[in-house]
């Protein structure tokens, strides 16, 4: 079987990542150094079979989303990221594209917050990374549901309890956020496609977009209806990373509260 440059590079980088560096247990005997295929696939959000085919040269031309996910999972440097895009036959995203990479410093911070539900979103509100406790709390999201604006205007279900007033305020905030993003990245095709889709399919989004609504992020309290733990009320804070244009969403419970106990139980059950 003939390996490709892409496959060789993925295998080399996978072997260079220690499990502990990406928050995985490193104990136990391993026949080869670095991450197992299944571990890298899980971190990148792709199937182990697809990763195997990429490494063995049986699959080619991965999408930019897959390449970016592998970049984050492998913790590649800027130069390595550019090389991976080139090996995949893709243009390296320029400064007019929305950043979709998570810096090593932010990644290390996330790894230290294993007992706190945390997710990272890019400037167009697409989920780039969610730790295990966040996924346990909110459920796993796929496809368009990974974009918070798409989910709140066009999605069908959510574990977050909303009143018409709270949902309306959230929608205003998201439209205002996307408007600011469009001003900074006027040539990003993915952002244009998202906005066009939302304006075409959601009268509410189109109305807010046309009105020029302005809103700012505020700390809020949210109640999540978990299928096993029941209602959990948590404080939600959105932190912005200067330079990277990322939004880090953090959920915390009041210490000593019943909600804190439920969150701790979810953490223990999932670990």
Residue 12 has a pLDDT of: 94
Residue 42 has a pLDDT of: 87
Domains defined for the chain, CATH in brackets = 5-87 (1.10.260.40), 104-270 (3.30.450.180)
Residue 3 has a pLDDT of: 67
Residue 140 has a pLDDT of: 87
Which residues does the chain have with pLDDT short of 70? 1-3, 26-29, 94, 216, 270-271
Residue 107 has a pLDDT of: 81
Residue 44 has a pLDDT of: 86
For residue range 1-21, list pLDDT tens digits in order. 566 899 999 999 999 998 887
Residue 6 has a pLDDT of: 92
Residue 271 has a pLDDT of: 58
Secondary structure string (H, E, C) spanning the chain? CCCCHHHHHHHHHHHHCCHHHHCCCCCCCCCCCCCCHHHHHHHHCCCHHHHHHHHCCCCCCCCHHHHHHHHHHHCCCHHHHHHHHHHCCCCCCCCCCCCCCCCHHHHHHHHCCCCCCEEEECCCCEEEEECHHHHHHHCCCCHHHHEHHHHHHHCCCCCECCCHHHHHHHHHHHHHHHHHHHHHCCCCHHHHHHHHHHHHHCHHHHHHHHHCCCCCCCCEEEEEEECCCEEEEEEEEEEEECCCCEEEEEEECCCCCHHHHHHHHHHHHHC
């Amino acid at each position: 079987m003939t390996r490709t440059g892409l496959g060789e590079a993925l295998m080399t980088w996978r072997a260079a990542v220690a499990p502990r560096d990406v928050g995985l247990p490193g104990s136990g005997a391993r026949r080869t150094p670095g991450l197992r295929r299944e571990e890298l696939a899980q971190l990148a959000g792709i199937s182990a079979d697809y990763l195997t085919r990429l490494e063995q040269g049986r699959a080619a031309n991965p999408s930019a989303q897959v390449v970016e996910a592998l970049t984050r999972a492998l913790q590649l440097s800027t130069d390595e990221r550019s090389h991976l895009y080139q090996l995949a036959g893709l243009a390296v995203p320029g400064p007019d594209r929305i950043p979709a990479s998570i810096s090593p410093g932010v990644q290390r911070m996330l790894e230290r917050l294993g007992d706190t539900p945390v997710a990272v979103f890019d400037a167009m509100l697409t989920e780039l990374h969610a730790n295990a406790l966040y996924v346990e709390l909110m459920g796993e999201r796929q496809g368009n549901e990974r974009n918070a604006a798409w989910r709140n205007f066009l999605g069908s279900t959510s574990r977050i309890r909303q009143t018409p007033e709270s949902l309306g305020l959230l929608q205003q905030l998201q439209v205002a956020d996307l408007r600011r993003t469009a001003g900074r990245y006027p040539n990003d095709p993915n952002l244009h496609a998202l906005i066009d889709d939302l304006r075409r399919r959601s009268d509410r989004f189109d109305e807010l977009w046309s009105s020029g609504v302005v809103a700012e992020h505020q700390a809020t309290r949210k109640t999540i209806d978990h299928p096993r733990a029941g209602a959990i009320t948590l404080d939600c804070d959105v932190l912005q990373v200067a330079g990277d244009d990322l939004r880090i969403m953090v959920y915390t419970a009041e210490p000593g509260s019943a909600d804190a106990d439920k969150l701790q139980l979810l953490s223990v059950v999932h670990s």
